Amino acid sequence: MVDVILGMQWGDEGKGKIVDYFAPGYDIVARFQGGPNAGHTLYVEGKKMVLHQIPSGIFHQNKINIIGGGVVLDPVTLKRECDAVAAMGIDVRKNLFIAERTNIIVPTHRALDKASELAKGESKIGSTLKGIGPAYMDKTGRNALRVGDILDKNFTSQYIKLRLKHQKLLDNFHFIEDISAWEEEFFEALEFLKTLNVVNGEYFINNQMSQGKKVLAEGAQGSMLDIDFGTFPFVTSSNTISAGVCTGLGISPKQIREVMGVTKAYCTRVGSGPFPTELEDATGEELRKIGNEFGATTGRPRRCGWMDLVALKYSAMINGVTQMIMTKADVLDAFEQLEMCTAYNINGKETKEVPYQLSRMKATPVLARFPGWHTDSTQLAKGAPLPQNMQAYIQFINEYVGVPVKYVSNGPGRDQILPL
């Protein structure tokens, strides 16, 4: 049995905190896609931890954490993260498992990411420059090196072959940065990787499930950044939606039970691309300030705007979301008035559907207004009724999307969450 937690917007919805909260109810936490472009923040014993590659269940003793084959893995980031986790008393050799099929990010992938973004100029994606796009290109191009290859005696020659191929591309981009220091740390990190548990991921997880073990699949990025269904080309390079759980872990769709969609009470986006409800004014600035909306991976200011119900309903549809978790409700505490987008106006026509090519059209949001709740929601006791205006805000979301919000997160802390 697998339950899924994934982002319904453009990433950074608070997935890390939510996975950490639900992890005690599961035996296994598994990442199924994405790479170190993910930055999942959680607080452990009051200490802030940001995870990029390791699943967010790692801080619970005796839980198995799996990096699935659908992930792209940067050994350097992984080593750094394992060191940080080990410093918190966690034995990664006991509870972290990596699928053999996981594709490896090599230093030239990072260089290619940078070169490609520079070449795009104004139309750049706003990539995190972690080598995600080039690594997935080598996967679908059938050139990639995988974790299961690192013990192969031909690994170094395979690496050199790939590097030469990349060098030709980099020469075309006139990219001349010296990456020898990156290479040195890459090979050091590979030695570390050899000491970790590398397993046949699909047999490992299916065997565990046949023994009755419960799996929590942790999405990275968000549904609107999905390679197929997001705001292409301003997307990441993997299937961030629930369908990615099956291909990323090697499990049957029949195993999936709950799909828990995480959404902020408003919207943010890092990097370029369409964002119909974006507020480029003082209100947007206030959301950014109160919500501390700066990238966990890159530190970049996140673009902020009102809740986009058109995108949220679309996301619920393509993921089969069964319940929603609304995070950062406390960020809206002091706002006099709130707004939510109920339709897009495109060339004078209203639509409640996300169009095929949102990035090529100007979608003006049709906004519904709601009074703020003027309550310090961080102080709300579990089980106590929510402020009436917050209830009305949530009720509108429930009715519009057709899926209920079941939890409200009212602060970044581990226990700052209100079951409804």
Which span (23-31, 311-319, 325-333, 384-392) binds ligand GDP, by CB under 6 A?
A: 325-333
Q: Which is nearer to Mg ion, 179 or 225 (by Cβ)?
A: 225
Decide if residue 39 touches Mg ion (CB under 5 A): yes
If one asks whether residue 220 binds ligand IMO (CB under 6 A), the answer comes out as yes
The listed partner (Mg ion, ligand IMO, ligand GDP, none) that binds 101, CB under 5 to 8 Å by sort, is none
d(CA 275, CA 267): 9
User: Is 35 an interacting residue with respect to ligand GDP (CB under 6 A)?
Assistant: no
CB of 351 to ligand GDP, least distance (A): 28
Q: Where are the alpha helices (DSSP H) in 177-230?
A: 180-193, 201-210
What are the residues whose beta carbons fall under 8 Å from the beta carbon of 156, sequence distance 6 or more? Answer: none
Question: Where does this chain touch ligand GDP (CB under 6 A) — which range of 278-286, 311-319, 322-330, 346-354?
Answer: 322-330
CB of 240 to ligand IMO, least distance (A): 8
- Asked if 174 and 118 count as a contact pair (C-beta separation under 8 A), the reply is no
271 binds ligand GDP (CB under 6 A): no
> Which residues in 119-178 contact ligand IMO (CB under 6 A)?
125-128, 130, 132-133
Helix (H) or strand (E) segment spanning residue 197: strand 197-199
Closest contact distance (angstroms) between CB of 220 and ligand IMO is 4
> What, of ligand GDP, ligand IMO, Mg ion, none, does residue 139 touch, CB below 5 to 8 Å by kind?
none
Per CB under 6 A, does 328 bind ligand IMO?
no
Residue selected from 10, 17, 354, 370 as contacting ligand GDP according to rule CB under 6 A: 17
- Using the rule CB under 6 A, is 14 a contact of ligand GDP? yes
- Is 174 catalytic? The answer is no
Binding span for ligand IMO by CB under 6 A among 93-101, 215-223, 329-337, 386-394: 215-223
Radius of gyration of the chain (CA): 21
Residue 15 binding ligand GDP, by CB under 6 A = yes
Task: Pick between residue 126 and residue 404 the one whose CB is nearest to ligand IMO.
Answer: 126
Q: How far is CA 114 from CA 31, 137, 139, 187, 357, in A?
A: 25, 15, 19, 21, 25
Report yes or no: 110 and 76 within 8 Å, Cβ to Cβ.
no
Amino acid at 414: R
Binding to Mg ion (CB under 5 A) within 292-351 occurs at 296
Is there a catalytic annotation at residue 138? no
Helix (H, G, I), strand (E, B) or coil at 407: strand
Give yes or no for residue 68 binding ligand IMO (CB under 6 A).
no
Coil/strand/helix, residue 25? helix
Rounded distance between C-alpha atoms, residue 181 and residue 193, angstroms? 18
Q: Which runs of E-coded beta strand occur in 227-305?
A: 256-264, 267-269, 303-305
**Which one of 3, 12, 20, 74 is the catalytic residue?**
12
Cβ at position 67, least distance to ligand GDP in Å:
16
At residue 169, φ and ψ (nearest 5 deg) are -65, -40
User: What DSSP string describes 163-184?
Assistant: HHHHHHHHHHTT-----HHHHH
- Binding-site string for ligand GDP from residue 330 to residue 349, where x marks contact by CB under 6 A and - marks none: xx------------------
Size of the site for ligand IMO (CB under 6 A): 25
Residue 371 CB coordination number (10 Å): 13
Eight-state DSSP code of residue 355: -
Q: Which residue among the candidates 40, 52, 109, 166 is catalytic per the annotation?
A: 40
CA 318/CA 243 separation, integer angstroms: 9
User: How are beta strands 349-351 and 337-346 bridged, if at all?
Assistant: antiparallel
What residues make contact with ligand GDP under the rule CB under 6 A?
7, 11-17, 39-41, 296, 327-328, 330-331, 409-412
Q: Would you name the residues annotated as active-site residues?
A: 12, 40
Interacting residue ranges for Mg ion, rule: CB under 5 A: 12, 39, 296
